[in-house]
Amino acid sequence: MTQLLTIADLKEQAQRKVPKMFFDYADSGSWTEGTYRANESDFQKIKFRQRVAVDMSNRTLATTMIGEDVSMPVAIAPTGLTGMQWADGEILAAQACEEAGVPFTLSTMSICSIEAVAAATTKPFWFQLYVMRDREFAGSLIDRAKAVGCSALVLTLDLQIMGQRHKDIRNGLSTPSGFSLQRIWQLVTRPAWCFRMARSKNKTFGNIVGHAEGVSDMGSLGAWTTEQFDPRLSWDDVAWIKERWGGKLILKGILDPEDAKLAVKTGADAIIVSNHGGRQLDGACSSIEALPEIVEAVGKDIEVHMDGGIRSGQDVLKAVALGAKGVYIGRPFLYGLGAKGKEGVALSLDIIRSEMDVTLALCGKRDIKDVDRMLLKEGTYPTSK
Ligand code: GLV
């Protein structure tokens, strides 16, 4: 078997082990997937400054995100259907994060419920909220996250309506389920996945099924999102959500400096510069391109995080050098999970950690907290101008 040394290796393994419709769900962007690709490729243009003959001993990647200690500035992003990459995926990923000392964010559209993840972990995790037309239901999710001791609420602002991902339509993932031959074939060719899934209690949207009307299975995802996610979500809603939650609040999906300034006014603790992994507005700029302008606009007033396109520890360092206090990984951990379950998530974090550590050293730095744009070659990175 190939040695798993990079996130790309994990992706290749995951593709062999996860039924196509769920692998594709993770590995897709909207429409032309141009923004999805740009998220990754824009990182490649940025170059480091190699520095030599500096003491490289005693290095540390430890820092904080929203005041919480993290062993490196990397959190796990909220991703829908994580428990379909590998049975009980959210529980396994949360446990791997706990062991690695990094935050885990549970999606509203997770398979394992808030309570199931809480019961299987010992440290607080973060919860991501989608706001539904039924405000009481959204409120009840906030209450449930509070009840199990989640330490941050991540409010997603860029998915009132869903960007079209062609692969999901072709795989039948956005239509009510049925046993098409295509689906059955995708499952029977992944027997180990089916075996694990058959033994798991967590097979559908754990936060929703049994709590909200009209969602019974995987296949209702697209339909339910269209019907239930509230297209009227506005900045005014942030106020009642903040009030009901009463804890640390992170606003996700900011890509424009004007929106970043509005986000600051809400009194939130952090923003995430994000285009939803290229899954929403195709044709929007990459996250790393948007980052410097937003840091310039609000970096003194609020903690700025980013996600989108991180595929290595080097990418994390580039984002930190451009002003991100922390980043989130979505696909890299999903590929690890799909490849090897909990061990694979741990491996994805280890790969990123060691790439970051060695790069930091070869750039002549020992402490992640000292990283700024001097780490990068001038003229190769996006600026606020
Ligand atoms: C949901 O968050 C998605 O991007 O599919």
Q: Where are the alpha helices (DSSP H) in the chain?
A: 7-17, 20-26, 34-44, 89-100, 114-119, 135-147, 166-170, 181-188, 191-199, 221-228, 235-245, 257-265, 287-298, 313-321, 331-362
Ligand 1 atom 3 nearest Cα: 80
Question: What does the alpha-carbon distance between residue 190 and residue 20 come to, in Å, rounded to a whole number?
Answer: 9
Q: Are 19 and 190 in contact (CB under 8 A)?
A: yes
Distance 276 CA to ligand 1 centre (A): 7
Ligand 1 atom 2 nearest Cα: 80
Identity of residue 274: S
Question: What does the alpha-carbon distance between residue 124 and residue 103 come to, in Å, rounded to a whole number?
Answer: 8
279 ligand 1 Cβ < 6 A: yes
Atom of ligand 1 nearest to the CA of 163: 4
Distance 110 CA to ligand 1 centre (A): 10
Q: Are 291 and 382 in contact (CB under 8 A)?
A: yes
278 ligand 1 Cβ < 6 A: no
Question: What does the alpha-carbon distance between residue 215 and residue 212 come to, in Å, rounded to a whole number?
Answer: 7
- What pLDDT, on the 0 to 100 scale, is given for residue 175? 63
Q: Are strands 68-70 and 63-65 parallel, antiparallel or unpaired?
A: antiparallel
Active site residue 305: no
Question: What does the alpha-carbon distance between residue 68 and residue 82 come to, in Å, rounded to a whole number?
Answer: 24
Of 222, 273, 257, 276, residue with least CA distance to 36: 276
331 ligand 1 Cβ < 6 A: no
Q: What is the pTM of this model?
A: 0.97
Dihedral-angle region of residue 358 (phi above 0 means left; psi in -120 to 50 means alpha; beta otherwise): alpha
Q: Are 355 and 312 in contact (CB under 8 A)?
A: yes
Ligand 1 atom 5 nearest Cα: 80
252 ligand 1 Cβ < 6 A: no
Atom of ligand 1 nearest to the CA of 78: 2
- What pLDDT, on the 0 to 100 scale, is given for residue 251? 98
- What pLDDT, on the 0 to 100 scale, is given for residue 182? 84
Tokens for 376?
A: 């990068």
* Per-residue pLDDT of the chain in tens (385 residues, 90 and over written 9): 679 999 999 999 999 999 999 999 999 999 999 999 999 999 999 999 999 999 999 999 999 999 999 999 999 999 999 999 999 999 999 999 999 999 999 999 999 999 999 999 999 999 999 999 989 999 999 999 999 999 999 999 999 999 999 999 999 886 665 567 888 899 999 999 999 999 999 998 899 887 776 666 656 666 777 788 899 999 999 999 999 999 999 999 999 999 999 999 999 999 999 999 999 999 999 999 999 999 999 999 999 999 999 999 999 999 999 999 999 999 999 999 999 999 999 999 999 999 999 999 999 999 999 999 999 999 999 998 6
Question: What does the alpha-carbon distance between residue 173 and residue 176 come to, in Å, rounded to a whole number?
Answer: 8
Handedness of CA 113, 160, 263, 288 (dihedral sign): positive
Ligand 1 atom 4 nearest Cα: 279
